[in-house]
Every structure is written in C-alpha cells, then in structure tokens.
Structure 1
Amino acid sequence: MTFRLGLTGSIGMGKSTTAAMFAAAGLPIWDADSAVHQLYARDGLAVSPISEICPEATMDGNVSRETLKRAIAADPGLLAKLEAITHPLVAADRAAFLAQTTADIAVLDTPLLFETSSQPEFHATLLVTAPADLQRQRVLQRPGMTEQHFQTLLSRQMPDAQKRSLATHIVETLDLSATEAYVKSLIAHIRARHA
C-alpha cells in the first residue's frame, strides 16, 4: 500500500520548493494546482461546466484564470459554484494518480488540504511554513503580485497557527539545506514506521 503524505502550506511558504525536494528524492508528486491547470486548459473537463456559470471566463476552449478572478471578485458567490465543479474533478485526478503509483510513498501537494477538511484522505500531513514577514516578502516578489491580491489570497486560507495545530508534521522553510535535511529525515521516518 502506498503511504499518502499530504503536503500543504499557504502561499509563499516554500511548498513548491519542498515538493521538488521530495521529487528529487525519487517520490512521485501529485500537484493539485497542476490538476486545475489541466482542467482549465483547452478542452479540459472543467471548461464546459465553467462556461455555464461564467461564460465570459471561457474562450477558445480554455478558462481564463484572470477573467475568472475578476468575476469572483465581482460576485463572491461564484467561488462556491466554481469549487462545486472543480473539487470533484481534482479528487478524481488524484484518485487516478494514486491508482497508477506503485511507490511506497506518494506526496500529494494540496494547497487547501485543511480548508477542505481533507486530512482523512492521507496517512499523514506535512505543513510547510515560514514566518509571516518572510511569507509576505516571498509573495510580493512574484510577478504581477500586489499587496491587495496577497491579502485576498490570505483571507481565503486558514491561519497558519490553526494549520499547525492540525498538521502531523511541520517544516519551517528558513534555509534550503535544513529543509532538504528535514525532507530526507521524514522520508526515512515514514519508511521505518510503515515498511
């Protein structure tokens, strides 16, 4: 049986970098954001249902994430409708990934793991975190990011302190080498306990 490790963290905490460290250690990674990108891409499974609730967000068989963001800002009720479409499709993609993997450990990069109460779907969870000032600095360095958009993203996510109380494991991403050492140690720990 494959051990399912749920990887999560708020924007700017170092989750993608940490996921890459697991991949470099040879573990298969499933990425919820990549799954959503595929669903929104040309003729993706979410395109047609999204065109029914927000026609202006679809063009040439794709979903425009920017147009969708503006539509949600104008009508916050649209987010729940969008989630009702995308969450089941993302869950099906994750299930297909797990059905195909033969690895002893699989890492499932799930940004809203705690927000969607998905903990029971994993054998353990790893919260990737960093101090708030470092998080803000990292996020505002991203192209096109504004303070307002950063605050909007934060408002949709559970506070870090609450996530810490729910996580099985926690890694602070202050230093790359320390984070990499933690990842290797965690893999060894999981293998030793669940071999």
Structure 2
Amino acid sequence: MHILGLTGSIGMGKSTTAGLFAELGVPVHSADEAVHALYCGPDAARVEARFPGVLKDGQIDRAALSKAVLASPQALRDLEAIVHPLVRQAEDAFLTKAREAGEPLVVLDIPLLFEAGRADDVDSILVVTAPLAVQEERVLQRPGMTAEKLRAILARQMPDSEKRRRADYVIDTASGLDAARHAVAALVAKLGVDPKRG
C-alpha cells in the first residue's frame, strides 16, 4: 500500500485536493477532520480542562481556543500535546483498515507534515501550492480571519518554496478545479492505481 502525504500551507487548496482523491475512490484521512471530531467528542473535556471556557454546548469553540493559544507558544504546545496523539490514533486505525481492505493507495492529509517531522511516515509527498496573492485572497475571505492572524499562522509554517523543494509531487491549485482534478487523476494513475476504480 502506497501512503501519499498531502500537505500545503494555509489557503493553498489542500482540502479541495483531498476531495478530488476521494472522488476517485482513494481513501483519504484528514487530520483536520479528525481534530474536528475530537472537538465534538468526549476528549473535548481534556481541552477544556487546560483552556477553561472554550467548551460551549458540548463542543470546542474554535474561535475561543484560537484566541487562547495564538499569542502563547507554550499554550500551543500544550494543545498539541493533547490533540496530536489522538489524531495519530485515528490515523493508525484508518491505515490498518485500509491495509486489511487491500487498498493500493491512501492519502494522509496532514497540514503541518514537514513542521511536525512526519515526512518519513509516508511513501511520497504531494504539496499543493498557489501564488501568494491567491493564498491571501482565499484565506482573508474566511470568517474571523485578519491579515495579522494570517501573518501569525504563516510565521509558524515552513515557507511554501521550501515545501515545494522537498515535495515528490506539486500541484498548483490556482489554475482552477478542472486543472487540479486532471492533475490528481494523472498522479493516481502514475502511482499505479486505476483512477476510475472508485
């Protein structure tokens, strides 16, 4: 089974690209979706215990949590110490299930793949990219996002140019959905999987 790591900086089109793999029947595990499930589940109480006041109506208020950790590197490390092991458990269960099903290819959608030292956990790496102006336009359209917040997020992420340099494959998402869909299908075929099997 070939494990393809999918990553890219904020606003580069990673989630959309993951969806294109799923359209072709390739199993995808999203770290972001695993975190979302955690924030709505029983483990949310562990986050609330460290950051009182962020649990509202049974789930973590991401805006409140973001406010609590953004200005403090230690707070962010504390959050990661709770979240990362739980996300890895979900990922391991996904990989076990895919192996048992005989899947030839799976995608691990990991936002901070390089930053978290995960490059050796996958067989190859796909980085999605877009020009800076496109990235900024996409991200600043998100609710509650500001230029200041974007700068803080980018400061914690490896530069896009370095991610592209380390990647095995790169897809530029600025050319539109059809071009990205074609690039994903070509990559799936290159990795030896019939892109129409799903």
Aligned-residue offset at 1:76: 3.2
- Render the CA deviation track for 1:76-116: whole Å, top value 9, x for unaligned: 31000110111111011000011112221111111010110
Question: Alignment length, in residue pairs?
Answer: 189
**136-145 or 160-169: bigger deviation:** 136-145
Q: Which amino acid aligns with 1:181?
A: H
What residue in structure 2 maps to residue 159 of structure 1? Answer: 159
- Render the CA deviation track for 1:172-192: whole Å, top value 9, x for unaligned: 112222221111111111117
2:187 is the counterpart of 1:186 = yes
What 5-or-longer segments of structure 2 have no aligned partner? 194-198
- Render the CA deviation track for 1:43-100: whole Å, top value 9, x for unaligned: 2x2x232223212222444222111111113533100011011111101100001111
Q: Which amino acid aligns with 1:52?
A: A
- Partners of 1:74 and 1:139 lie apart in 2 by 19
What residue in structure 2 maps to residue 88 of structure 1? Answer: 85
Write the mapping of 1:59-70 to structure 2, written as runs, cut at 5 A.
59-70=56-67
What 5-or-longer segments of structure 1 have no aligned partner? none
Q: Alignment partner for residue 73 of structure 1, among 64, 67, 70?
A: 70
Aligned-residue offset at 1:142: 2.2
What residue in structure 2 maps to residue 7 of structure 1? Answer: 6
- Partners of 1:167 and 1:74 lie apart in 2 by 30
2:144 is the counterpart of 1:147 = no
* CA spacing shift, 1:116–1:74, aligned 2, 3 Å: closer
Partner secondary structure for residue 117 of structure 1: coil
Partner secondary structure for residue 192 of structure 2: helix
What residue in structure 2 maps to residue 53 of structure 1? Answer: 50
- Partners of 1:145 and 1:41 lie apart in 2 by 22
Q: Which amino acid aligns with 2:152?
A: T
- Partners of 1:152 and 1:98 lie apart in 2 by 33
What residue in structure 1 maps to residue 22 of structure 2? Answer: 23
- Render the CA deviation track for 1:126-152: whole Å, top value 9, x for unaligned: 000011111111111223322122212
Partner secondary structure for residue 11 of structure 2: coil
Aligned 8 A contact 2:70 2:76 in 1:
no
User: TM-score, length-normalised on structure 1?
Assistant: 0.91
2:103 is the counterpart of 1:106 = no
User: TM-score, length-normalised on structure 2?
Assistant: 0.89
